[in-house]
């Protein structure tokens, strides 16, 4: 049976901790951050209003409620259906709608909140549900209390490069 001396065990522990710290540092340095992944041109491929499930006998009421909630949501939104979102690495955001200008973007929280601002004032806040090299799914953060969510699905636009 192999028996290690106490000083050999200390050295082995220090070596193990050092390797783990080095591996963690390399992952942090070389992993793609949301700020790097989001930069580029994205096209909107879907905009979804996910409504809550209602009982069958309340279906007519549910349709009226959905319309009221949808109208309340649409009043509060600044940007909708802009087709192309161009996230610049300097923090500016360009969209294909010429009436929407002077917009900036930033990542907040633990890298899961996308905040859109105009002239320094936040106008929209999205929760980044998924973000990869080719696809981004945003869920709109709203002040109103609803059971359901607005989801915007974007894909990287390779033609824009």
pLDDT at 37 over 80: yes
pLDDT band at 57 (very low <50, low <70, confident <90, very high): very low
What rounded mean pLDDT belongs to the chain?
Answer: 77
Contacts of 53 (CB under 8 A, 6+ apart): none
Fold classification of 34-160 (topology level):
Lipocalin (2.40.128)
Residue 133's φ and ψ, nearest 5 degrees, are -65, -30
Highest-scoring range by mean pLDDT, 39-43, 52-56, 124-128: 39-43
More confidently predicted of 161 and 6: 6
Angle at 155 between CA 154 and CA 161, to 5 degrees: 125
- DSSP assignment of the chain equals -----HHHHHHHHHHHHHHHHHHHHHHHHHSPPHHHHH-EEEEEEEEEEEPPP--GGGHHHHHHHHHHHHHHHHHH-S----SEEEE-TTSEEEES-TTS-SEEEEEETTTTEEEEEETTEEEEEEEEEEE-SSEEEEEE--SS--SSEEEEEEEE-GGG-
Please determine, for residue 50, whether its predicted confidence score (pLDDT) is greater than 60. yes
pLDDT of 87 strictly over 50:
yes
Say if residue 4's pLDDT is above 50.
yes
| Domain limits, the chain | 1-31, 34-160
Q: In which band, very low, low, confident or very high, does the pLDDT at 16 lie, cut at 50, 70 and 90?
A: very high
Task: Determine the pLDDT at residue 56.
Answer: 44
The CA distance from 109 to 26, in Å, is: 22
The pLDDT tens digits of the residues spanning 120-161 come to 888 888 888 888 889 999 888 765 555 456 778 889 887 655
pLDDT at 15 over 90: yes
pTM of the model: 0.65
Predicted confidence at residue 81, as pLDDT, reads: 60
pLDDT of 59 higher than 60? no
């Amino acid at each position: 049976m192999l028996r290690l001396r106490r000083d050999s065990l200390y050295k082995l522990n220090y070596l193990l901790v050092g390797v783990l710290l080095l591996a963690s540092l390399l992952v942090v340095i070389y992993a793609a951050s949301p700020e790097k992944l989001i930069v580029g041109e994205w096209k909107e491929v879907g905009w979804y209003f996910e409504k809550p499930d209602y009982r069958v006998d309340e279906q007519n009421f549910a349709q009226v409620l959905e319309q009221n909630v949808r109208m309340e949501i649409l009043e509060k939104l600044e940007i909708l259906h802009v087709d192309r979102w161009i996230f610049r690495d300097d923090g500016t955001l360009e969209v294909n709608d010429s009436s929407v200008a002077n917009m900036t973007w930033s990542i907040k929280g633990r890298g899961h909140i996308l905040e859109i601002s105009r002239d320094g004032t936040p106008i929209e806040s999205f929760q980044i549900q998924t973000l990869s090299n080719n696809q981004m799914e945003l869920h709109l953060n709203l002040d109103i209390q609803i059971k359901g969510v607005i989801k915007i699905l974007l894909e990287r636009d390779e033609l824009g490069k």
